[in-house]
Amino acid sequence: MQRSIALFAAAAALAACAGGPGRGGPPAGEQAPLGAAYRQSVFLTGASLLFVQFDADRDYITTRAEAQAGAEAEWKRAAEGAAVLTPIQFATWSARALGGPNLGPYRLAFDTNVNNEITAAEFAAAILTKFDQFDADKDGALRRPDMSERLPEPVRRPGAREAGDGPPPGGRPPRR
Ligand SMILES: [Ca+2]
Ligand SMILES: [Ca+2]
Ligand SMILES: [Ca+2]
């Protein structure tokens, strides 16, 4: 008898933990968009690290002017006096500034003419292009929520089990 009570208590404690901090936190009206955001797999890339770094006056808002000045300063750090960045130099900078080659933005986003060299102009343009992508309301300012990105929605065809898995079952008639 004692034992089963103890087990029940442990199970209840586990269930409470599983509920997480969301329970009893913000009102339901505020919680709904957060839940939706999690379902849409929101993530941050190396670009957000840059724009946070470029927020020179630390007001949690990166203006386009701050981004431009930041890009110019970052170019000097990345190029270390060189006229262009080679792929190896870019990889070195990317590891330091962006957290590595897998977080993006990627080298080809900078090397727009694909000649294996990144110029100062290409470097700044790539950063400002990313700024403009993030700046959805086009007010020339990025706030932290603007910097999160979402995984693309998986393409689901009616009747298909998984994308690229062949024709949907029972869909088209067999080939003759
Ligand atoms: Ca700022
Ligand atoms: Ca180039
Ligand atoms: Ca904005």
pLDDT in tens, the chain (176 residues): 444 444 444 444 444 444 444 444 445 545 555 566 556 688 888 999 999 999 999 999 999 999 999 999 999 999 999 999 999 999 999 999 999 888 889 999 999 999 999 999 999 999 999 999 999 999 999 999 999 888 777 777 777 655 445 554 555 555 55
Per-domain boundaries in the chain: 43-150
For residue 39, what pLDDT is reported?
61
Cβ contact 162:85 at 8 Å: no
Cβ contact 134:51 at 8 Å: yes
Query: Which residues, including other chains, have CB under 8 Å from residue 47's CB and lie 6 or more apart?
Result: 98, 104, 105, 127, 130, 134, 147
For residue 123, what pLDDT is reported?
98
Ligand nearest to the CA of 125: 2
Distance in Å, CA 142 to ligand 3 centroid:
5
Is the whole model's pTM more than 0.95, yes or no?
no
Distance in Å, CA 43 to ligand 3 centroid:
18
Query: Which residues, including other chains, have CB under 8 Å from residue 153's CB and lie 6 or more apart?
Result: 40
For residue 70, what pLDDT is reported?
98
Ligand nearest to the CA of 131: 3
- The letter for the amino acid at 173 is P
43-150 domain in CATH 1.10.238?
Answer: yes
Which tokens hold the place of 95?
Answer: 């590891």
What CA–CA distance (Å, rounded) separates 21 from 136? 30
For residue 3, what pLDDT is reported?
47
Ligand nearest to the CA of 51: 1
For residue 105, what pLDDT is reported?
92
For residue 71, what pLDDT is reported?
98
Distance in Å, CA 143 to ligand 1 centroid:
9
